[in-house]
């Protein structure tokens, strides 16, 4: 009897030790991953002398919150201000992500559920377009946008980003995982394809739709090359393009540059942490069926 009790206690202690070890490893990984971000944030509250000082100090002697206000009030002229750049980036990211979710959902539903001639050929051709590096189509897209007079307009980034093969593929795979019996029941009740798509498919696909929204939002938010190519007006710049010029003009003021970087990083991080549950679920389910 005593041997059994001792064995049970040993197993419990061993289990708790393994759990504790796992949490310790995860904590160590988290520190390594988040340390650069935390140090960058603390650098926004330091003086330039403290940032380049050796040995480095983790916390500033005086917390200079006014660095954030100074960066926010930066004006390069011709409408080049941080509020304007933040609006440009937010507007483009939200609009393109929303349009891509809408159009890719319609395309994904067609490939997953509808039957029409040439579906497999079209789907294969669409997937093959994902193999093309973006740099290959950069010049043709610029020439096309210039001919239709969309340079220095939001449309130059919105139209090409409103639908992509990856988004259609992601949602097609997710839609295939939804039981077909639900649609058959709706058809018996007289529902059309549009009714099924709107009232059945969309509500059941929130994880995949949010996943695509986050991915596209992040991609547009971090877009640099196309934004630099299409938007030459200072008032039309996105944050990534503006930060390049900002770093060149304020190269000696590293604390202000770090504040600008934080302005660029916070929105994506907040969006991811708010919807991380749906993001993980969407990624895990999108590849269940081929």
User: Going residue by residue through the chain (290 aa), what tens digit of pLDDT does each one get?
Assistant: 555 655 565 656 666 667 778 888 888 888 888 888 888 888 888 888 888 777 878 888 888 888 888 888 877 777 778 889 999 999 999 999 999 999 999 999 999 888 888 888 999 988 888 888 878 888 888 899 999 999 999 999 999 888 888 999 989 988 888 888 888 888 888 888 888 888 888 888 888 898 899 889 989 998 888 898 898 888 898 988 888 877 777 666 778 888 888 888 888 888 877 877 766 665 555 444 44
Q: What is the pLDDT of residue 282?
A: 57
Q: What is the model's pLDDT at position 290?
A: 40
55: left (phi over 0), alpha (psi -120 to 50) or beta: beta
- Burial of 125: CB neighbours in 10 Å, binned 0-12, 13-18, 19+: exposed
State the pLDDT at residue 87.
92
55 preceded by a cis bond (ω within 30 of 0): yes
Q: Which two tokens stand for residue 13?
A: 């202690």
Residue with tokens 């096309």: 144
Helices (H), 148-179: 155-161, 165-176
Q: What structural domains does the chain harbor?
A: 2-68 (no CATH), 82-285 (1.10.3720.10)
Q: What pLDDT, on a 0 to 100 scale, did the predictor assign at position 81? A: 84
Predicted TM-score (pTM) of the model is 0.82
Neighbours of 27 (CB within 10 A): 10
- Predicted local confidence at residue 92, as pLDDT: 94
Q: Give the number of residues written for the chain.
A: 290
Could you give the CA distance from residue 43 to residue 50 in angstroms, rounded to a whole number? Answer: 8
């Amino acid at each position: 009897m005593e041997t059994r009790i001792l064995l049970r206690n040993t197993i419990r202690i061993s289990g708790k030790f393994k759990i504790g070890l796992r949490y310790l490893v995860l904590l160590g990984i988290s520190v390594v991953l988040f340390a650069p971000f935390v140090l960058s944030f603390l650098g926004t509250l330091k003086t330039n002398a403290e940032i380049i000082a050796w040995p480095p100090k983790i916390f500033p002697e005086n917390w200079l919150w006014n660095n954030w206000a100074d960066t926010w009030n930066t004006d390069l002229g011709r409408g080049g201000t941080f509020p304007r750049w933040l609006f440009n980036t937010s507007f483009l990211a939200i609009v393109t992500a929303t349009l891509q979710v809408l159009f890719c959902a319609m395309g994904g539903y067609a490939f997953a559920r509808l039957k029409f001639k040439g579906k497999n050929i079209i789907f294969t051709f669409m997937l093959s377009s994902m193999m093309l590096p973006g740099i290959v189509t950069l010049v043709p897209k610029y020439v096309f946008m210039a001919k239709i007079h969309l340079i220095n307009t939001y449309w130059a980034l919105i139209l090409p980003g409103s639908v992509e093969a990856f988004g259609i593929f992601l949602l097609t795979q997710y839609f295939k995982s939804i039981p077909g019996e639900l649609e058959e029941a709706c058809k018996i009740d007289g529902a059309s394809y549009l009714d099924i798509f709107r009232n059945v498919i969309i509500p059941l696909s929130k994880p995949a739709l949010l996943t695509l929204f986050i991915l596209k939002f992040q991609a547009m938010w971090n877009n640099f090359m196309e934004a630099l190519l299409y938007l030459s007006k200072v008032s039309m710049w996105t944050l990534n393009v503006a930060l390049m010029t900002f770093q060149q003009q304020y190269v000696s003021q590293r604390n202000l540059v770090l504040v600008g970087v934080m302005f660029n990083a916070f929105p994506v991080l907040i969006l991811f942490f708010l919807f991380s549950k749906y993001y993980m679920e969407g990624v895990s389910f999108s590849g269940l069926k081929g």
